[in-house]
Structure 1
Amino acid sequence: MPRGTVVDMIEVKEVTKRYGATTAVDRLTFTVRPGRVTGFLGPNGSGKSTTLRMVLGLHTPTAGSVTVDGRPFTDRPRGLRHVGALLDAGDVHGGRTARAHLAVLARSNRIPLARVDEVLEEVGLAGAARRRVGGYSLGMRQRLGIAGALLGDPPVLLFDEPLNGLDPEGVKWVRGLFRRLAEEGRTVFVSSHLMSEMEHTADDLVVIGRGTLVAAESLAEFAARGGRTSVTVGAPDASALTPLLLSAGAEVTSEPGGRLTVTGLPAGRIGEIALAHGLPLDQLTTRTASLEEAFMELTADRVDYPAGAVR
């Protein structure tokens, strides 16, 4: 069957995972489709890693189901041919060389050993293939983890915080890799706690907080739903303008330098009010919230340990 068909989907249906009295994931439902890069976002401790481990069969759901290509991942005896994953770049025996590490994975999944050299070349580690992994930098370990995910040439790929430790060139390379894999029709699922990582790469987003679903939609839909538009107003007589804007239904915040941040009214209407009352303006700038701000706004009440909280 050609790559990119709907059978390569990851489907999470009403999944709950409890550890004793703690609920890590609560009735979570979403679908990750082929041919697209799907970002998996949430604050630290939101349940992302637990969910990824359930996709890979490393944890068993307390309730609900997780399938890849319509079947639990544990039903596949040679899993790397179906799903490639990077969960923890540090989870490699430091005494092995990169080539030896990948060779073990290849043999256990009946993958030709020639593929080991191919993926080492692809991730830029061919020159370090016979060095022991214990001497690798974090960025090199990330590249090795990506090589392991690519080893079986799978139609489905999962990456957990793949940009950690990478330099700017490495970040650019990884973003390009994800885009190429999706264009080949593969299902690419990338977990992160930073919206800024995903806005350059993702087509779709799955956002969770405290184990529950916040959003599952396209990047553009998420930005439109979460972001708020504000207007920066420069007014020499801000004290006179403020009550007029408030009476018109706006929210007004005073900023340093005599500026006002206004929400709830468009720039044109603010200008009309100022003109009608003879109040000059020296700035009237519309600003749309960034994706990072939209993410922070939508997950603000689902952060376990917000900055400044008393614990």
Structure 2
Amino acid sequence: MIQVNGLTKRYGGTTAVKDLTFTVRPGQVTGFLGPNGSGKSTTLRVILGLHQPTSGTVTVAGRPFRDRPRGLRHVGSLLDAHDVHGGRSAAAQLSALARSNRIPRRRVDEVLREVGLAEVAERRIGGFSLGMKQRLGIASALLGDPPVLLFDEPLNGLDPEGVKWVRELFERLAAEGRTVFVSSHLMSEMEHTADQLIVIGRGELVAAESLAEFSARGTRQSVTVTTPAATALKELLTAEGAAVRLKGERLTVTGPTAVRIGDIARRHGLPLHELSTRSASLEEAFMELTADRVQYPGGDPR
């Protein structure tokens, strides 16, 4: 379990994280979301003891991580897949980590097989693709067989097969009772992977709840309607103040409920082949609920 209580982190006059409190529990995949500049990376680095908090506390299984010797046995992490010695082989990189954490050498071969790098174990990391480096970073995180795992953007550079593999890996690790904390900007993937969400903006907590609860907070619901009388129905709905997008025989309607649309169609004798309500996606809910917490609206942060 990861517990963050009243965490504040300042760099000079800049407050990266402000009075942040949340808990990441074992047995589930918890997604960590926030706009660029929201403080996600800072929070992860404080959890791992790489940065000291200005105030507040952060513990892993009840203790600050930096107080734990042979840390890879307690927490595995992937923060930056490029942060490796390019002149070393994959096997040499993992072997060095294993020795410094008193992890049996056999684990090197085991995790290389698990992440699909056994055949390139002796190749220099400098020649690896980004996807291969991501797999090596995941292997490093798994090396000590830890109960807590943190991943920052683990899907960068992975092909669809690799993304599917990572998704299944995270699900398996959580099913084993481990704490799995994943920071990612890929909303569509988090929608398929995460059970719980921690969402922050401008260093402050926006939400700490299940994925379903967070998505339900988005107000942008729409109704999909399929009808051979699409043009006529569009005119009627537009007159009612609805926003309507038309494509062939399908309408996407924002404003009136499905019941209201059905009543209008029935009153005018228009046949309906489909009438279904679509709730906001995770991405839509995220954009809506963090709109006022974006550090760099409109693009270029420079």
TM-score (normalised: structure 2): 0.90
Evaluate the alpha carbon distance shift between residue 289 and residue 100 of structure 1 in structure 2; reply closer, same or farther with a 3 A threshold.
same
**Who is 2:238 aligned against?**
242
Q: 1:71 to 1:12 in 2, by over 3 A?
A: same
Q: Which moved more, 1:288-297 or 1:125-134?
A: 288-297
2:159 alignment counterpart: 167
Between the aligned partners of 1:107 and 1:303, the Cα distance in structure 2 is 43
Residue 168 of structure 2 is aligned with which of 166, 173, 176?
A: 176
Q: Structure 1, unaligned stretches of length 5 or more?
A: 1-8, 247-251
Tell me what 1:137 maps to.
129
Aligned partners of 1:109, 1:23: CA distance in 2, in Å? 34
Matches of 2:262 and 2:115, distance apart in 1: 55
Does residue 95 (structure 1) correspond to residue 87 (structure 2)? The answer is yes
Moved more, 13-22 or 75-84: 13-22
Q: Contact conserved, 1:40 with 1:205, CA < 8 A, in 2?
A: yes
Alignment of 1:23-38 (within 5 A): 23-38=15-30
Secondary structure in 1 matching 2:177: coil
Number of equivalenced pairs: 296
Asked if the contact 1:86/1:158 (under 8 Å) is kept, the reply is yes
Map Cα deviations across residues 140-196 of structure 1 (whole Å, 9 max, x no partner). 111111111011110000000001111111111111111111111110001101211
Q: Post-superposition shift, 1:98?
A: 1.0
Deviation at 1:56, TM superposition (A): 0.2
For residue 262 of structure 2, what is the aligned residue in structure 1?
A: 271
What is the Cα deviation at residue 285 of structure 1?
4.6
Deviation at 1:78, TM superposition (A): 1.0
RMSD after superposition: 2.3
Partner-residue secondary structure (3-state), 1:117: helix
Aligned pair partner of 2:296 in 291, 302, 305 = 305
Matched, 1:222 2:214: yes
C-alpha separation between the residues in 1 aligned to 2:300 and 2:179? 38
Aligned to 2:2: 10
How much does 1:271 deviate? 2.9
Preserved CA contact (<8 Å) 1:35 1:186: yes
Secondary structure (helix, strand or coil) at the match of 1:176 reads helix
Q: Which amino acid aligns with 2:281?
A: S
Alpha carbons of structure 1 residues 242 and 70: separation in structure 2 relative to 1, 3 Å? same
Unaligned runs of 5+ in 2: none
Cα deviation, 1:264-283, whole Å, max 9, x if unaligned, reads: 4322223324544x474767
Q: Which amino acid aligns with 2:188?
A: S
Whole-Å separation in 2 of the counterparts to 1:263 and 1:238: 12
Could you tell which deviates more after superposition, 252-261 or 173-182? 252-261
Identical aligned residues as a percent:
75
- How much has 1:36 moved relative to structure 2? 0.6
Change (3 A) 1:116 1:240: closer
Aligned equivalent of 2:284: 293
Moved more, 30-39 or 214-223: 214-223
**CA spacing shift, 1:189–1:150, aligned 2, 3 Å:** same
Task: Give the C-alpha shift of residue 106 in structure 1.
Answer: 0.9
Equivalent residues in 2 for 1:115-126 (5 A)?
115-126=107-118
> 2 CA distance for matches of 1:257 and 1:178?
38
Q: 1:141 & 1:99 partners in 2: Cα distance?
A: 13
What amino acid does structure 2 have at the position aligned with 1:117? Answer: D
1:147 aligns with one of 139, 143, 151: 139
